[in-house]
Amino acid sequence: MSCLASGSCGSIAKFQARVACCRSDLKTTVLRALRDEFGYDNVVYWVVDEEGRLIEEASLHVSTQIIHAWIEVYETKDPLHCKKLTKNYTTCQVRMLKDVTDVESCYEDNGYYREILRSEGFVDKMVVYFIEKGRCIGGLTFLRKEGERPFESKDKALLKELGHFITQIHSLKYNILALHRDNNALTQFADLVEDGMMLVDEDAVVHKITAGAERIVRILQGGALAKDSIEEFLTLIKFHTGFEKWNELHNTYCEINNYGIYTRTQKIKGKYFYRIMMIKLKKNRLNYVIEEENDNLTKSERIVLRYIMQGMTNAEIASILKITVGTVKYHITNMLRKRGVSSRAELMARERALAF
């Protein structure tokens, strides 16, 4: 087991890029990225329902005996159960076993720890809790074997950073799956998340780029993909967004030719990284509500709706438009009334059905 805290900016960026590009099994992708980038093999990715009951779990190397035993005793005998979080947290949390109980006593008194974990050589545990809207939706459980480096506070700090990122991707993926189940008209919604994606730093060094993104950059730049062309591409996006510096913004959105360009800015250990998602726009697709002459929405409502259709949150929309979250909610309430729907998902489903 390697020290997560010693991970370089590049390792963190690569981890985030792999997870962000995941289109299928998010849990397996996260587990493999933790193993490949940081050397963590013994990790369980789990999901809980609103009552804190386990509904999904996955692991690459933890035995089925441990998984099955853990499922049976999680709610009653695990001191790190998500319901034992004492506060109504709003962001990702990390707990070591020693934070909540005496480790030696736990392995002596708790049958699961004594008979199951210890029998396979595991002597310690740490948990990352994914928090969304004040409740735990899932997490990662890290197991440590005897002889390996003990968990430290610096691990908690970095795991909290990674956990916050995973929570965002987890929520996005599961929200998309929920939309698929609720309305067949949204079967193409997942494709709108990223027709192309690239991760580039402030020095125009590309850390990750999908085949779709490479194709789009070549089209927009009209030539081979090189550092100069990446620098020009970044300048082009900044020109169309109207901002010379991205480090002052969390994210931006613009349209260049037939592509929607959504850029997220993140600072990792003093260096800025730009995650750029490129979406192929089609006639009457994302721009449907903007081009409809007889639309009864106001100009401000149309702009907010455009960003909603990009999958942005109220906070992200407020940041881009330089307005309060309350104002965004006000526009959404008016749109729901005018469209005759009762939820954000129904609003998106209606607009998507019209667009297609």
Task: Note down pLDDT in tens along the chain; length 356 residues.
Answer: 444 444 467 788 889 888 887 767 889 999 999 999 888 889 999 998 888 888 888 998 898 889 888 888 887 888 998 888 767 777 889 999 999 999 999 999 998 899 999 999 999 999 999 998 888 999 999 999 988 988 888 888 889 889 999 998 888 777 655 544 444 433 333 334 446 778 888 888 888 887 778 888 888 876 666 667 788 888 888 777 766 666 555 567 777 877 878 787 877 667 788 888 887 765 444 444 444 444 678 878 888 888 887 777 888 888 888 888 888 999 999 999 888 888 887 787 777 655 44
To the question of pTM greater than 0.85 for the whole model, the response is no
State the SS3 of the chain: CCCHHHCCHHHHHHHHHHHHCCCCCHHHHHHHHHHHHHCCCCEEEEEECCCCCEEEEEECCCCHHHHHHHHHHHHHHCCCCHHHCCCCCCCCEEEEHHHHCCHHHHHHHCHHHHHHHHHHCEEEEEEEEEEECCEEEEEEEEEEECCCCCCCHHHHHHHHHHHHHHHHHHHHHHHHHHHHHHCHHHCCHHHHCCCEEEEEECCCCEEEECHHHHHHHHHHHCCCCCHHHHHHHHHHHHHHHCCCCCCCCCEEEEEECCEEEEEEEEEECCEEEEEEEEEECCCCCCCHHHHCCCCCCCHHHHHHHHHHHCCCCHHHHHHHHCCCHHHHHHHHHHHHHHHCCCCHHHHHHHHHHHHC
* CATH numbers and ranges of domains, the chain: 4-182 (3.30.450.40), 191-281 (3.30.450.20), 284-356 (1.10.10.10)
